[in-house]
Every structure is written in structure tokens, then in C-alpha cells.
Amino acid sequence: MNNKLYGNLIFELSKPGRRSYSLPNSGMGSYQLPETMRRACDAQLPECDEMTVVRHYTNHSANNFGVNNGFYPLGSCTMKYNPVINEETAAMPGFAQLHPLQPAETCQGALEVYYNLQQSLAALTGLSEFTLNPFAGAHGELTGLMIIRAYHQSRGDDKRVKVIVPDSAHGTNPASAAVCGLEVVEVKSTADGIVDVDNLRSLLDDSVAAMMMTNPNTLGLFEREIPEIAKLVHECGGLMYYDGANLNPMLGACRPGDMGFDVMHINLHKTFSTPHGGGGPGSGPVGVREDLRPFLPVPRVVKDGDNYRIETEGKGISVGEFLGNFAVAVRAYTYILSLGKENIKMVGPLATLNANYIKDSLKDVYELPIDGLCKHEFVFNGLKDKSTGVTTMDVAKRLLDYGYHAPTIYFPLLFHEALMIEPTENESRDTIDGFIEVMRKIAEEAKNDPDLVKSAPHNTPIGRVDDVLAAKSPVLTWKQMNK
């Protein structure tokens, strides 16, 4: 793109008197607004011709990078597979033009989709019932914890104020517990990167409301001790919460409900294929075991004979006035149906295969702090050769030059140079081999020409930005100069 011609800001392209339109004379004469209703001076709007405006915005949009532009190996909060057919179903007028206050008898088809998705999620996870109301993963966590608190309180057990969270947990776990008014207690990881059961034992008492776990955890490792952990937490009267934001590797392989979890959330916008970015749109359904069903939030969709209705009476938990992000639910249900019962079982193994293939192809040049089989993702601790001074940030920036989105960096916090890679199940062998080749090339460059990597990116519209300055003195508005 030629920045000189099309400009960085539409204001910089403005020329006094330029217009994108001309109106015919209406012959109606003119009318003067009363003085009190008039501006003191003209609005400072850019003045441009039509093609300048169109090209300016079109060229800017082309600077964006998404899963439809190239490989996007971001770990944990991954944008996973976003099949185009989902967009077609979500855009069907009967779904897209629903009104949230529409009477249930006029939208039975939509409620059936909603109900069937609840049922499908229950079947996939081994839990009893789901609510689709929460708008994000973190919102689901909060909802789940509210359910857990309501359950304890319903038994007159008011002293349960602690939530145990592993040190490898996603940041939203402790945040949700705190927002729910509960106390966060951290449990350590072993050198193998999984929950340290001995440390957990020392934290358990009758003030524990719940234990939150992510499995596979944020290192991409399967938490082998779950049966023992669930037994210990249940023995002390706490409930087990499963963070199922990234459920891909589990699909069709095993179910949280069978492992002893009582409450969980899923991110439909990760595992079940809804494009999301900049914070939305999302959906974080929450599932519970049989005896916790009464504590699910309202409104919820229930089936009466052949009809569906919206239940509004409950035990007082509400996390939103309506039924959540319906278009995300339509996409998730489309995804589940288009894979079908048999093929959905391939998601986990393929995601796991792809991640392990990348890990094993690169571990001679990138430091792998915890070796062994990973699930859908894994974490390197930067380049193996630390003598070059090339950091994880530099590698991430250099990847942009080669047309890849960067992996997740500096998370989880367990290693200084964390580089978290998740390929997702739908990527081809060629794409993955291409990525491996580039990662190896960057490792070579780090050795032979470290400054090239440290000053990357070189081929993007904007070079390396000053993170600190951008965070401390962000320039968010355009100030008119020279006028």
C-alpha cells in the first residue's frame, strides 16, 4: 500500500472544499436554522472525494491479519477453525432478525436450536445441563462460581470462601473468583508442570468452596492426577470447576463430567468455531451436574412436550436479561452438526498430533522446559541458544515478516521467555511444515544476524512499536495541526 497516496489518517487527506457528492438544485429555496441551534463554527470533518475515502478504508482493512489471511498459532485464547458454513446459518433471516422480546411461540425453531445445543454440550461433556447465557469465558467462570456459592449457601454452609487456583491458570480464573467475592488461594505446579497434589492437600479444609482446573492446563499438559484431586476436594466438601475454554483436545476423547467435575464452562468462540477478536462476540456456556440444575441462571430454554418455552423462574441467579449471544450458539450448533458424532472425535487427536509434530520438529532449536506428550498446545521457553540475546518478543516480531501471526508470548508466567504455540486441528501438513521451516530459519538468523531479528518486523506497515510508550502515553485522538 502506498501510504503517501492513501494516508494514515483520513484527516490528513482532507482538502478544503473537496466533496464526494453533488446534489441537484431542489428548487426549494433555503432555510436558516435559528441562531440558538447553529454551531459556533463548522464541524471539523475531513473533506475528501469518494475514491480517496473508499481506498483509504479498503487499504487499511487489508492491513488486518486473521485466520483467513494466514497461519495463526496463538496458544490458549486461540481463534480456532471458523468454517464458512457457520456464517451462512447464522445469517439466515429467521435467526439473524430475531428480536429478544419475541414471544416464544413465534420462534420455536430458534429455541429448538438453542435447546439442542444445550443438550449437545451436555452429551459432549458428561454434565447434566447447560446454560448458554454467559457472554464470554470469564463470564461463564463467574456464573459457575455464583452457582457453586448458591449451592453451598442453600445447605447453610456459609464459611466456604476459598477458591483454589493453580499457578498455571488463565488470569481470568483468579479474577472471576475475586469478582465473585471469594478468596483466591494458589496451588503450585510440580516440576512436570501439573498440579502438585501434596501442596493441594495442605490447602484443603472446610472453607474451600471450589477448586478450578484447566485441563489440558495452559502448558498443554493433561492433568494426570485429576481423579485423586477430585476425591480430595470432594472429601473436604468443595466442588470441582473445569475451565473448558479450549476443549478441542478433549472432544470425543474424554468428558469432564466423567472425571469428577461438577461445574464447567466452555468457550463456544474458541472450541466451537466463532470468529472473535477485540473482545467479542463470545459465549461461555456453563454446565452443571444433576443436583446443581436448580441453581442454573434464568432465563433458560426448556422443552414441554413438543414445544419450547423460556423459563424465567429460578433460584435467583441471573447473569443477563436475555439468552446470551444467539448467533454464536447457531455457529456452534452448525459446527457440531457438520462434524457429526463420529468426526467430532477426530478433533482432539488431530489437534494433539499437530501440536506434538511442531514441538518435536523444533525442540532442538527452541528450549522445551517440559518434555513429553502435549495436547493441543505447548510452551517453549524462547530459543535454546540464549547467547544471541534474541528474545521471545523478537522471534514473535520476526514471524510477522514471514506472514505468520505470532504465537502467544510471555504467558503462562511459569517461564521467562514463554512462547505458546497452538496449531489447531484444521491446519494442513504443508502449512505446518512451512511454519516449522520459518521458525528454524529465525533460529538461524538469531545466530548469524541477531540484529535482523531484534529490529523486526521489517515488512509490516508499522515497524517495532515502543510498548512502554504506547501503554504510558497513548495517542488516541487526532489533533488538528497548522490550522
Ligand X SMILES: *Cc1c(COP(=O)(O)O)cnc(C)c1O
Interface residues with ligand X (CB under 6 A) are: 76-77, 136-138, 170, 172, 214, 243, 245-246, 267, 282, 284
User: Is the distance from CB of 168 to CB of 218 less than 8 angstroms?
Assistant: yes
Sorted by sequence, the CB contacts under 8 Å of residue 141 that are 6+ apart come out as 172, 173, 176, 177, 212, 241, 243, 265, 284
Which residue, 461, 476, 420, is CA-closest to 74? 420
- Least gap, CB of 18 to ligand X (angstroms): 43
Encode 136-203 in three state secondary structure: CHHHHHHHHHHHHHHHHHHCCCCCCCEEEEECCCCCHHHHHHHHCCCEEEEECECCCCCECHHHHHHH
> Counting beta carbons within 10 angstroms of the beta carbon of residue 83, is it exposed (0 to 12), middle (13 to 18) or buried (19 or more)?
middle
Q: Which three cell numbers stand for residue 264?
A: 464447567
Give 76 or 356: the residue with its C-beta nearer to ligand X: 76
- Least gap, CB of 78 to ligand X (angstroms): 8
- Least gap, CB of 75 to ligand X (angstroms): 9
Give 223 or 243: the residue with its C-beta nearer to ligand X: 243
List the end-to-end C-alpha distance of the chain, in Å, as a whole number.
Answer: 28
- Least gap, CB of 350 to ligand X (angstroms): 19
Give 7 or 412: the residue with its C-beta nearer to ligand X: 412
Q: Which three cell numbers stand for residue 388?
A: 544471541
Which residue, 238, 266, 261, is CA-closest to 140? 266
Give 82 or 391: the residue with its C-beta nearer to ligand X: 82
Give 141 or 445: the residue with its C-beta nearer to ligand X: 141
User: Is the distance from CB of 331 to CB of 272 less than 8 angstroms?
Assistant: yes
Give 136 or 259: the residue with its C-beta nearer to ligand X: 136
- Least gap, CB of 282 to ligand X (angstroms): 5
Which residue, 394, 393, 386, 387, is CA-closest to 366? 386
What whole-number distance in Å separates Cα of residue 437 and Cα of residue 365? 12
Which residue, 207, 191, 142, is CA-closest to 199? 191
Report in angstroms the alpha-carbon separations of 370 from 148, 250, 379.
34, 21, 8
- Least gap, CB of 140 to ligand X (angstroms): 8
Give 265 or 398: the residue with its C-beta nearer to ligand X: 265
Give 7 or 140: the residue with its C-beta nearer to ligand X: 140
Give 177 or 446: the residue with its C-beta nearer to ligand X: 177
Sorted by sequence, the CB contacts under 8 Å of residue 161 that are 6+ apart come out as 182, 183, 207, 209
- Least gap, CB of 105 to ligand X (angstroms): 33
**Residue 432 DSSP SS3:** helix
Cα 328 to chain centroid, rounded: 13
User: Is the distance from CB of 354 to CB of 424 less than 8 angstroms?
Assistant: yes
**C-alpha neighbours within 13 Å on the C-beta side of residue 50:** 3
Which residue, 171, 166, 67, 137, is CA-closest to 411? 171
- Least gap, CB of 142 to ligand X (angstroms): 10
- Least gap, CB of 360 to ligand X (angstroms): 24
What whole-number distance in Å separates Cα of residue 96 and Cα of residue 80? 23
Closest-by-Cβ residue to ligand X is 137
Give 120 or 172: the residue with its C-beta nearer to ligand X: 172
Give 76 or 86: the residue with its C-beta nearer to ligand X: 76
- Least gap, CB of 120 to ligand X (angstroms): 20
- Least gap, CB of 347 to ligand X (angstroms): 16
- Least gap, CB of 280 to ligand X (angstroms): 9
What whole-number distance in Å separates Cα of residue 399 and Cα of residue 438? 8
Give 245 or 446: the residue with its C-beta nearer to ligand X: 245
Sorted by sequence, the CB contacts under 8 Å of residue 10 that are 6+ apart come out as 46, 48, 53, 56, 57
Backbone angles phi, psi at 309, to 5 degrees: -140, 165
